[in-house]
Amino acid sequence: MNLTYGLEDFRNKVKKKEKKPKEPRFAFLTKSEIDHLEDGYRWRKYGQKAVKNSPYPRSYYRCTSQKCIVKKRVERSYQDPSIVMTTYEGQHNHHCPATLRGNAASNIFSSPSLFGSNSIPLEQRIHQDFLAQFLPSYSQSNNHQMFHQNVPLPPHQQQQFQLLQDNGLLQDLLPSSFPGKQEQ
DNA sequence: CGGGTTTGACCTGCGC
DNA sequence: GCGCAGGTCAAACCCG
């Protein structure tokens, strides 16, 4: 081996001078003791880093499906350790792998809603989550609060957004142009 | 043995 | 230029 650490790959990337193609990105918050919630897709962890100002590490996952470049970051809120923040980057170019057997999907199904709405069946709520991945403009479910980077929230969701914002949970996830985003 | 995780090294970007 | 923080790689390791 002449090159350590795939240096060649890095050189190639630089050659292509790809300036961050701005993958669609959205995040949702989940109240759960489990860091990595089952969401129906298969993920491979490729890194973990300590986060500044937070006692909790951030984990990096990639979709294991071939040709699917979706990534996600999972980190626990330092302000409320019961809240897990999951950030998706990119969109799946495939459907969910066969529904996980047994109770695999029960983690996320059983996680209590951040804002306690029980008016929608759990399965429907999770379905909405996945919908958001395929339809980027779909930006809200009742179980998780999701905010797509490039899509403003409809007015009736602004209040919930404000709640999260007041808790300082969204500052890093939203573009500065996002309606209602506070100055840092 | 294959697939996933851990972990330290290394790269990039950014602010000073 | 330097240092820091975030992101990624890949060898070693673990486990079914």
**Spatial separation of the C-alpha atoms in residues A91 and A132, rounded to whole Å:** 9
Question: What are A110-168's pLDDT values in tens digits?
Answer: 343 333 333 333 333 433 444 444 333 333 333 334 444 333 334 334 444 444 444 44
Structure tokens at A26: 């959205």
Q: Is the CB of A71 under 7 A from strand C?
A: yes
Structure tokens at A171: 């500052």
**Spatial separation of the C-alpha atoms in residues A109 and A125, rounded to whole Å:** 9
Chain C: nucleotides below 7 Å from protein CB are 4-11
The better pLDDT of the pair A95, A16 is held by A95
**Strand B neighbours among A 151-170, CB < 7 A:** none
Distance A119 CA to C8 C1' (A): 41
Q: What is the dihedral of CA A141, A142, A146, A151, to 10 degrees?
A: 50
Q: Is the CB of A179 under 7 A from strand C?
A: no
User: Which residue is nearest nucleotide C5, judged by alpha carbon to C1' distance?
Assistant: A52
Is the pLDDT at A51 greater than 70? The verdict is yes
Q: Which of A130, A131, A90 is nearest to A108 (CA)?
A: A130
Q: In what order do the strands lie in the sheet with A145-148?
A: A43-50, A57-63, A71-76, A83-89, A25-31, A145-148
Whether the pTM exceeds 0.85: the reply is no
Chain B: nucleotides below 7 Å from protein CB are 3-12
Within its chain, how far is the Cα of A17 from the centroid?
Answer: 26
